[in-house]
Each structure stands twice: as C-alpha cells, then as structure tokens.
Structure 1
Amino acid sequence: MFVPDSLASTFIAAPDPAWQQQGAALIHELQAVLGPVARRVDHIGSTSIPGMAAKPVLDLQVSVADLDAAAAVFDKPLAALGFCRRPYERDHVPAGRDDPPDRWAKRYWNKRSAGERHVNLHCRLAGSPNERLALLFRDWFRAHPPAVPAYARFKGTLAAAVGDLDVYTDVKDPVVDLVVTIAEEWAAATGWYPDGVDR
C-alpha cells in the first residue's frame, strides 16, 4: 500500500483494521440514542473499506424518512455525545446526473473532541440517491479488493500534491463519480441492493 511519508503532515493515514470495529461500536451507540427515527445506521466512506488508506475520520450515515423532523429529534442526543450540527445540507451531485439538487439534501453533524476518534455523521433520506451512492461506493470496493490499492494510491498522491482538504475534496469528487459509474454497472449486473432496504 503506497502512502507517502509526507501525508503525516496532511490528512491521509495508512489503513487501520480497528476502523471497522470502531464503526460497528458507533453504530450500536447511535442506534441506542437515536431510536426508531433512524431507520438504519451504516459505516460508510473509506474507513469502512478494508485495506483502504483514508482520513482517520469515521463517516457514518443515518437513513431517515424526513430530514427536518429527524434533525429536530437528533440534535439533543447527538450534542450529548459531543456532535455539533454543521450547515452542510447538500451533497455533491455526480456528473451526468440531472436530479434536482434537493434530491441530494442531507443534514450533517461532526465530532472533533480532543483525544477521541473524529466522526462525520451524514443524515440522508431513505431511498434517496445520495443514501444509495454512499452504500454502493462502499460495497463495490468491498467486492473488488484489487481496486482498493489503486484508489488509495490516488488519494495519497493527491493529498501530498495539494495539501489542502477543500482542494483535495474538489479534485477527488470527479474520480468518485467515475467509480460510481462503474459500480452502477456492477449493481445492475449482480442485482446489488443495499442490505436491509425495502425494495
């Protein structure tokens, strides 16, 4: 796995098998405090993919029926766990999609407590394209381990070259779009559908 040494001063870390265990523990904790309004809680993003270099920040996704109603219920218990609500209420719409932007709405909290694992919590509508994309991205990489080192190398090289998280994200988004295009073909060919989601 190629992870440039210079990344120690930026933001990409070598893969850590503990990330999956930490994600599972957080899912259990969040399910307990968020209750049935949280239809499902999933570990997503690069830390959910075995062997993937990543920002050492866990991304979790909570799927709900109504974003505003869920946010009203979630704010207090999440604050008690150290999460702060952030004003990011829309995801990147992949190239080639003509969905109305409100189909990519979300609510977002993060946790940046000293001495604790940093966490991003994305709340998305059940059945929305951004909920699906997060799960498909994860599951495609889990099903294609040989693709993990190539994507990890891209991220490491990009992070070392730009050294700025916002620029890194802007450049990475079109590559994610490309991965998702391939992943959608795989989903259609295999009949993939997110586990636990009603068809």
Structure 2
Amino acid sequence: MPFPDELGPAIAVVDYNPNWPSDFNHLAARLQAAVGDRAVAIDHIGSTSVPGLAAKNCIDAQIRVTALSPDLVDLLESAGFRCRPEPWNHTETSYGVPCEKLVFAPPAGERAVNVHVRVATGPNTRYALLFRDYLRATPEARESWGAFKQRLAQSVPDLFDYGQIKAPATNILMTTAEHWATQTAWTVR
C-alpha cells in the first residue's frame, strides 16, 4: 500500500514516456551508490522498461543480490528509501515457489518508484526479467498488454483492486512468455 505522501488520484496508465529510461538510469546510480558491491546487477523492470508499452508512471528497479539480509534495509533506508511493510512486499510466489524479497518506496516527495530487492538466482528475479524481455521482443503482446492495462485502469481506479485483477492476467501473459523463452532459448543475463 502506498505511504501517505504517495496517495493521489486514481490509477492512470499513460502512453510510453521516452524519459523513463533516463529516469531509471538516475535511480540506478543512486541505488548503486547506496548498496555498492552488494548489487550483482540493477535492472530496469516492469512496464516502464518496455519501449512503447503504456504504464503507470512508476519506475520499477530490481536489485539482484546474492542473499537478502537486514543490512540491505539499513543501506537503502540510509539513502532515504522506505521499506514497504506489507507481507506481499516481503514474499511473492513465482512458478509456484515462495520467494523472499524486499520492496522499497522512494524517499518522501520524490517521483514514484518501486525498488525490488531479489536474490539473483531466484525464480522471481527470472520472472521479472522474462516479463520485460518478452514484451520488448513481441510487439503484438506489448500492444495487447498495454491496451488491457489502460482499459483496466479506466474501470478499476483503486490501486489494490487494480493489482488484484491484473495478477491473474499477468500469469496468463507469462505462460505465453515461457513458451517464447523456450522457442528463443532465452536466459537471464
């Protein structure tokens, strides 16, 4: 759930913004400075990482680490990021496997971001990267997914409800992405 300073108008899914990659690069530099060599990689993930895809104006970054540990929370909080407290921001299921994670909000008053900290070898890390790469490589899927999200946001303006409805649709999308991954011999890079 959003922190009080993140509350705003209803969900808005907007057309792709060509500034999103530079917004991510700025965020990634801050995250790298905060966690240093603890990061195996910092990835631009989610819909804003897919050129041409409609999205909420919220940059999603993924910090891949070898292990989750309390000092990561300390490092990111020292840089102003706020650890999201909800249970679903600490555990998620990918491919039927429960995976630990951490999710951070931006410092108060800054642009909307979600920083996902995941174990580099975890299935949830693979899931996020496959989602991105499949939609980057498949124009028909990208256009359909963007149109679906825009229609959903128009009819379901509440963030929680929007997410609850979008989750099963994402799983259907990812079934097709898995088929694509097999056909193309896609792997995490």
TM-score by length of 2: 0.87
Provide the alpha-carbon RMSD of the alignment.
Answer: 1.7
Measure, in 1, the Cα distance between the counterparts of 2:140 and 2:32.
Answer: 33
Structure 1 stretches of 5 or more lacking a match? Answer: 1-7
Q: What percentage of residue pairs aligned between the two structures are identical?
A: 38
In structure 2, distance between residues paired with 1:143 and 1:19: 18
In structure 2, the partner of 1:65 is 66
Equivalences for 1:124-143 in 2 at 5 Å? 124-143=118-137
Asked if 1:157 is matched to 2:151, the reply is yes
Aligned to 2:6: none
Letter in 1 for 2:101: K
- Give TM-score, length-normalised by structure 1: 0.83
SS of residue matched to 1:16: coil
8 Å CA contact 1:58–1:120 kept in 2: the answer is: yes
1:113 alignment partner AA: A
Matched, 1:111 2:121: no
Q: CA deviation at 1:174?
A: 1.0
Kept after mapping to 2: 8 A contact 1:112/1:119:
no
1:193 is matched with 187
Question: How far apart are the structure 2 equivalents of 1:112 and 1:151?
Answer: 30
Q: Is the 8 A contact 1:12 1:56 kept in 2?
A: yes
What residue number does 1:4 align with?
none
2:14–2:56 Cα contact (<8 Å) kept: yes
- Deviation sequence 1:169-199 (CA, Å, 0-9, x none): 111111111111111111111111122xxxx
Which residue does the alignment assign to 2:53?
52
1:41-87 per-position Cα deviation (integer Å, ceiling 9, x unaligned): 101000101111111111111111211x2xx2233332243210112
Are 1:112 and 1:118, in contact at CA under 8 Å, matched by a contact in 2? Answer: no
The aligned counterpart of 1:18 is 19
Aligned pairs, how many? Answer: 178
Q: Which runs of 4+ in 1 moved over 3 A?
A: none
Structure 2 residue ranges without an equivalent (≥5) = 1-8
Counterpart amino acid of residue 167 in structure 2: D
